[in-house]
Amino acid sequence: MEKIGFIGLGIMGQPMALNLCKAGYSLWVYARRAEMMQSLIAAGATPCNSAQSVAEQTDIIFTMVADTPDVEQVILGEKGIIHGATAGKLVIDMSTIAASTTRMIAAKLAEQQIHLLDAPVSGGERGAIDGTLSIMVGGKVEQFERALSLLHVLGKNIVHIGDHGAGQIAKSCNQVVISQTLTAVGEALILAKAAGVDPANVRQALLGGFAYSRILELHGQRMLDHDFTPGFKIKLHQKDLRIVMQIAHELGIALPGIALTTQYFNTLVGAGQGELDSAALILAQEQLSAISLITDKKDTYTRKI
Amino acid sequence: MEKIGFIGLGIMGQPMALNLCKAGYSLWVYARRAEMMQSLIAAGATPCNSAQSVAEQTDIIFTMVADTPDVEQVILGEKGIIHGATAGKLVIDMSTIAASTTRMIAAKLAEQQIHLLDAPVSGGERGAIDGTLSIMVGGKVEQFERALSLLHVLGKNIVHIGDHGAGQIAKSCNQVVISQTLTAVGEALILAKAAGVDPANVRQALLGGFAYSRILELHGQRMLDHDFTPGFKIKLHQKDLRIVMQIAHELGIALPGIALTTQYFNTLVGAGQGELDSAALILAQEQLSAISLITDKKDTYTRKI
């Protein structure tokens, strides 16, 4: 059985690494904040003092960190994976980052015959804990097959999309759909409320027809309840949309719908709401129309969020 | 068994009226274009020469016509329902029109103790033929209950939303969600294509996660295939969005997402594509970014649609 490394033990990485331990794999782990390794050590994992050290002792190394510079750091930086890995080893980056960076890293690693898969996920903390993430994978198909039994420990809907970076592109497409559907559902609920019709009845009616989406079902209910326990945090959602806007800029294409939704996320982070669940998008929409789903008054233009 | 009237036998009304015939109800019908009554006469319905005449001979009168002025005409106009109906009769308007007009008509009919339900539908021609429409109903609950067995012949997901006009508001909310989800799915497919990733693979991956919607499943595939056989026509979709924008204006609320989507429908109708299915929204998005889902070339700014 191949030895497994896991680097990055935050809100997503920690439950994912724990699921690999529970499935019987031997894990070597590293987190820049050493205290994040405690629960993994308790579960039998071996702590390391650098990403390089993890790579020296394992065959397949997962990375799950916050943003593009973090991935560059743990793979290519000082004491990074590239200095510990040898030919034939496989790096699986499950972070959500820019596809262009993924392709650059893949090329650097390939110079030393180290393989890379980009494998960003959808499903949030709940999906990480339950092992039910959607995983969108880019890279060589033989490496995808090599990784598949491991990925099945972490997720349920695992699709090989294409070559290096294709997983990241699919993740961006995923966020384009999810975020804009949040905007759509929020506008429908605002319209119902403003027109004096029960938004909960409207959601119920729409669930049974062509308007059905998982976002209407799950986040629509959270919007009605103003239940913004994450879930998936506004500030991470904003980061993902920054990547989408960056890709659109690089490719020279127009995505006006998601550009609009990005503005809502900007204002929410600006109003100090970055730690709330994405369903809190409704707060920005309520602010815009000076209306609330959970009170009967039409507010004046005070800063409510 | 109550005698049933049906006024308006177009692409939606004709199959709906036929389903009522097949279910064993006695129908009296009227269409402004007399030739539209032929298939109903063949099915045993009695043709009438005015809406007034239909109302004189029946207890419950359905209307299914194109737009707000048409509903006003067949209910309140010369030889309209109001001149034939008597106290206790029920009018069920299944057209999609402005909620403010619905409330005005309800008040006029109530002066003569004639009841009204607004019961707009979602599901398109296919849903009308199969009797699987979603039906969103506004009006008094006792009239809703009176109509329920009839509505069950026409649809599957039948919800009483609230008082007069609430069905129309729910239908507007439905269009806010559906139309904007079309925009979102189209942008995701455009992004994948522009980035050199197979849009069909991306759709497949997204179907398994939080991005799932019926629009991604059905219209996403139509977009990939450029299969624009209606379905639900662009020109009717545009009409529904005009009603949404009118309500937002009346209520003094901002719905920037659906306002953006409305612009796409405007350009499609302007380009002569009003008879295509709503999935043809992708044509406007392809035009905007000079890219096509079904060819490999990045086009120049020629007018393609």
CA distance to partner chain A, nearest, from residue B299 (Å): 12
B260 and B129, same domain (yes or no): no
Phi then psi dihedrals of residue A244, to 5 deg: -60, -45
Q: Does B178 touch chain A (CB under 8 A)?
A: yes
Please tell me if residue B156 touches chain A, with a CB cutoff of 8 Å. Answer: yes
**How would residue A305 be classed by pLDDT, with cut points 50, 70 and 90?**
very low
Q: Is the pLDDT of residue B295 over 90?
A: no
- How many domains is chain B built from? 2
Q: CB–CB of A205 and B161 under 8 A?
A: yes
pLDDT recorded at residue A1 = 82
Of the three residues A163, A187, A204, the one that is the final residue of a domain is A163
Q: Which of A14-18, A298-302, B92-96, B138-142 has the lowest mean pLDDT?
A: A298-302
A300 falls within a domain = no
**Among the options A171, A193, A233, A239, which is catalytic?**
A171
* Chain B partners within 8 Å of A174 (Cβ): 188, 205-206, 209-211
Nearest Cβ partner for B190 among A124, A159, A253: A253
Chain A residues in contact with B152 by the CB 8 A cut-off are: none
- Whether the per-residue pLDDT at A297 is higher than 90: the answer is no
Give the mean pLDDT of chain B.
Answer: 95
**pLDDT for residue B222:** 97
pLDDT at A299 over 70: no
pLDDT band at B68; cut points 50, 70, 90 = very high
Domain boundary among B129, B163, B197: B163
Whether the link from the prior residue into A84 is cis, omega within 30° of 0, is no
Same domain membership, residue B159 and residue B221: no
Interface residue A100 vs chain B (CB under 8 A):
no
The answer to whether residue A172 neighbours chain B at the CB level (below 8 Å) is: yes
Does residue B152 share a domain with residue B18? yes
CB contact under 8 A, B191 and A213: no
Report the run of H or E that residue B147 belongs to, with start and end: helix B141-154
Average pLDDT, stretch B232-243? 95
A165 interaction partners in chain B (CB closer than 8 Å): 195
| Distance (Å, whole) CA A234 – CA A272 | 10
Where residue B300 falls among pLDDT bands split at 50, 70, 90?
very low
pLDDT above 60: residue B304:
no
Q: Does A177 touch chain B (CB under 8 A)?
A: yes
Q: Is residue A304 part of a domain?
A: no
Query: Residue B1: what pLDDT?
Result: 82
- Residue A86, pLDDT > 70, answer yes
Q: Does A266 touch chain B (CB under 8 A)?
A: no
B204 and B257, same domain (yes or no): yes
Whether the per-residue pLDDT at A74 is higher than 80: the answer is yes
What is the pLDDT, as a whole number, of residue A303? 40
Question: What's the confidence (pLDDT) of residue A96?
Answer: 96
Looking at chain B, the whole-number percentage of residues with pLDDT higher than 90 is 93
pLDDT interval class at A298 (50, 70, 90): low
Active-site residue, selected from the candidate residues B89, B156, B171, B239: B171
Instruction: Give me the pLDDT at residue B125, please.
Output: 87
CA distances (Å), origin B2, targets B26, B58, B60, B114: 8, 7, 7, 15
Chain B residue numbers touching A204 (CB-CB < 8 A): 159
CB contacts of B220 in chain A (<8 Å) are none
Of all residues in chain A, the one with the smallest CA distance to B193 is A169
Chain A residues inside the 8 Å CB shell of B288:
254, 256
Residue B301 pLDDT exceeds 70? no
Q: What's the CATH code of the domain at B201?
A: 1.10.1040.10
Per the CB < 8 A criterion, the answer to whether B199 and B191 are in contact is: no
Band of the pLDDT at A304, cuts 50, 70, 90?
A: very low
Give long-range contacts, CB 8 A cutoff, 24+ apart: A9-12. A9/A36, A9/A37, A9/A40, A9/A64, A10/A36, A10/A64, A10/A65, A10/A66, A11/A125, A11/A128, A12/A64, A12/A94, A12/A121, A12/A125, A12/A128
| Shared domain check, B76 and B195 | no
Query: Among residues A260, A271, A81, A97, which one has the least CA distance to residue A187?
Result: A260
- Which CATH number does the domain housing residue A84 bear? 3.40.50.720
Q: Mean pLDDT over all residues of chain A?
A: 95
**A266-281 pLDDT tens trace:** 999 999 999 999 999 9
Task: List pLDDT tens digits, range B96-142.
Answer: 999 999 999 999 999 999 999 999 999 888 899 999 999 999 999 99
- Put simply, the chain A residues between 193 and 212 with a CB less than 8 A from any chain B CB are 194-198, 201-202, 204-206, 208-212
State residue B121 phi and psi, 5-degree precision. -125, 160
Residues B210 and B150 in one domain: no
Choose the closest CB to B253 out of A122, A194, A197: A194
Note whether residue B34 is domain-resident: yes
Q: How far is B1 from chain A (nearest CA, A)?
A: 29
CA distance B116 to chain A (A): 18
With respect to residue A301, please indicate whether it lies within any of the assigned structural domains.
no
Same-domain check for residues A182 and A144: no
Position A300 pLDDT exceeds 70: no
Residues 21-80 of A with CB under 8 A from B: none
Which residue among A134, A188, A218 sits closest to B176, beta carbon to beta carbon? A188
DSSP state string for B6-62: EE--STTHHHHHHHHHHTT--EEEE-SSGGGGHHHHHTTPEE-SSHHHHHHH-SEEE
Identify all chain A residues contacting B192, using CB atoms and an 8 Å cutoff.
Answer: 169-170, 173
The arithmetic mean of pLDDT across residues B235-242, rounded, is: 96
Mapped onto helix, strand or coil, the DSSP state of residue B273 is coil
Residue A303 lies in a domain: no
The residue out of B115, B137, B163 marking a domain boundary is B163
Does the residue B207 lie in any domain? Answer: yes
Q: Is B245 on the interface with A (CB under 8 A)?
A: no
Q: Is B108 labeled as catalytic in the residue annotation?
A: no
- Enclosing domain of residue A12: 4-163
Select the residue of B123, B162, B187 nearest A209 (Cβ to Cβ): B123
Q: What pLDDT is stored for residue B305 in this prediction?
A: 40
Query: Above pLDDT 70, what percent of chain B?
Result: 97
Each residue of A151-183: pLDDT tens digit? 999 999 999 999 999 999 999 999 999 999 999
The answer to whether residue A31 scores a pLDDT higher than 80 is yes
Interchain CB distance below 8 Å, A136 and B205:
yes
**Residue A180 contacts B where some CB pair is shorter than 8 Å:** yes
Is residue B49 a part of any domain in this protein? yes
Q: Are residues A142 and A188 located together in one domain of the fold?
A: no
Cα nearest neighbour of B184 on chain A: A177
Residues B159 and B173 in one domain: no
Mutation target for B interface from A133, A191, A215, A217: give the one with most B CBs within 10 A. A191
Position B61 confidence tier, pLDDT thresholds 50, 70, 90: very high
Segment A193-249, tens digit of pLDDT: 999 999 999 999 999 999 999 999 999 999 999 999 988 899 999 999 999 999 999
Domain membership of residue A296 (yes or no) is no
**Together in a domain, B15 and B123:** yes
pLDDT digits (tens, 9 = 90+) for B191-229: 999 999 999 999 999 999 999 999 999 999 999 999 999
Query: A253 and B181: CB-CB below 8 Å?
Result: no
Same domain, B69 and B138: yes
A151 and A179 part of one domain? no
